Amino acid sequence: MTSALLPHDLLWGLTPQQLPADAPAWALAAMAAGQPVVVRRALTAAGQVAVGVRGPLREQRYGTLMAVAAIERRVRPEQLCHVESERAWPALQALARLREPLDGLGLAWGVSGSAGFELASGVPALHRQSDLDLILRTEQPMERSEARVLLALLDAAVCPVDLQLQTPNGAVALREWAGTSARVLLKSASGARLVGDPWQALEQVA
């Protein structure tokens, strides 16, 4: 598990020449600048990984494939939990205040999204209205009552915080699992489906 490529991992090594011929100019520029790509949830052939290229604008997101052999460096969300930044955006202020309580959960957690990208690469990606995106590795089921306690902690932060529970079968939003719906949306490499228990692999709506 520790060596497997997982969603939200940041990878370096994709070059403009490795992008498809129809890739947008901003994606080519990002790769020419040596920026990382982020691992996406998608099924791929052996030796390839689905990745996303980020552009400077929110709507600039480009999905493509990367050869595993081309990877030069990987940074996982867990490696970014205690990375400091001189920038004082609300998302980074929220991260600083949440570190201790999240560490206290006794579970692996990490920083993803714009904050993770900026902390890992040094490329400015945050702004004043940015959310803080986090992941929490939950190999074992989390009680919905526990999810509600954690959500209350996150909702008291100085900016919106979006946390995904990473189960062995895919990811589910903490906010959904803390809610009252009988079924929640589980995102996996094979797609998204509604389930009653994200930790039960084969359960799904008929």
List, by residue number, the catalytic residues.
Answer: 131, 133
What is the per-residue burial (b if ≥16 Cβ within 10 Å, else e) of 157-195?
bbbebebbbbbebbbbbbbbbbeeeeebebbbeeeeeeb
The widest CA-to-CA distance across the chain, in whole angstroms, is 50
Q: Report the alpha-carbon distance of residue 197 to residue 206 in Å, rounded.
A: 15
H-state helical runs in 104-195: 113-121, 144-155, 174-177
